[in-house]
Amino acid sequence: MKWTVVGYWGAYPEKGEATSAYLLEQDGFRCLIDCGSGVLSRLQTFIDVTELDAVVLSHYHQDHIADIGVLQYSWLVQNSLHNRNRKLPVYGHVEDKTGFLALTHQFTEGIAYHPDEALQVGPFQFTFIQTNHPVPCYAMRITNGDQVIVYTADTSFKQDLIPFSREADLLVSECSFYHGQEAAKAGHLTSSQCGELAAKAGVKQLLLTHLPHFGNRAVLQEEAGRKFSGIIQLAHEGWTWQG
């Protein structure tokens, strides 16, 4: 399976870029994980928007869902132009009723995932764990039966994330703050906590994402590296992992 970073900023996108969104692909099946601001524009660097087969959302903060509305418009326009009736499934949790209901539109269908149950989306099986965040948010462990990718979504440090991330081939961890900053109050992780999580879970590789708009971001990598001796990289648009 292949993981491509479409957007990696926390909060808002910097010029010409996007907030949280990742393209997960295997055997021609294309699943978008989160759909933040700027994503519709940036996604077209990689695929046509109508080539998506599914969307899975971690939570309903704007930097993870802001472009759902324009994704719906793009499917409306393209279906109308091509006289098609294709519907795009958009998976979300139902703990925010308003957020969940907004996933359904003429050519998109909001589908509830139940965090205690595994979810099969094309070739991918998702399992979930609730994170520590100001609104209900779910981390995802994704497997194709062979490789494992864990995406923390947004969270402060939580012990349960260690067994959840155990021996993942790739850990995609939010990294909103630098070492020593008060990340937990905002429901986020520091760089060193990302490194600690990666080390304790014994993952193969760590990708730092959901990056802050301040400081020298190369330092995030160094700080995580004091805790984790495996491969650590900083997300950028177009970064890919293939297992």
Residue ranges that bind Zn ion, judged by CB under 5 A? 61, 154
Least distance (Å) between residue 190 CB and Zn ion:
16
Which residue's CB is nearer to Zn ion, number 61 or number 141? 61
Residue 35 dihedral angles phi and psi, to the nearest 5°: -150, 70
> CB of 88 within 8 A of CB of 57?
no
Q: Any idea what DSSP says for residue 13?
A: P
Beta strands in 49-169 (DSSP E): 54-56, 88-92, 108-112, 119-121, 124-130, 138-143, 148-151
Query: Is 11 or 76 the residue whose CB approaches Zn ion more closely?
Result: 11
Cβ neighbourhood burial of 132 (10 Å; 0-12, 13-18, 19+): middle
SS3 of residue 99 by DSSP:
helix
**Measured at the alpha carbon of residue 210, what is the angle toward residues 205 and 215, in degrees to the nearest 5?**
100
Are 175 and 157 in contact by the 8 Å Cβ rule? The answer is: no
User: Pairing between strand 21-26 and 29-33?
Assistant: antiparallel
**Please, what is the minimum distance in Å from the beta carbon of residue 149 to Zn ion?**
19
Token pair belonging to 143: 């497997």
Instruction: Look up tokens 């177009």; give the residue.
Output: 238
Q: Give whichever of 36 and 110 is closer to Zn ion, judged by the CB atom.
A: 36
User: To the nearest whole angstrom, how small is the minimum distance from the Cβ of residue 222 to Zn ion?
Assistant: 25
For Zn ion, the closer CB: 32 or 49: 32
CB of 139 to Zn ion, least distance (A): 12
* Residue (74 or 156) nearer to Zn ion, CB: 156
In whole angstroms, the minimum distance from the beta carbon of 110 to Zn ion comes to 19
Q: Which is nearer to Zn ion, 58 or 72 (CB)?
A: 58
Contact yes or no for 91/57 (Cβ under 8 A): yes
Q: Report the residue number, 75 or 138, with the smaller CB distance to Zn ion.
A: 138
Report which secondary-structure segment, H or E, holds 40: helix 39-43
User: CB of 155: closest distance to Zn ion in angstroms?
Assistant: 9
In the complex, minimum distance from the CB of residue 59 to Zn ion, in angstroms, rounded to a whole number? 6
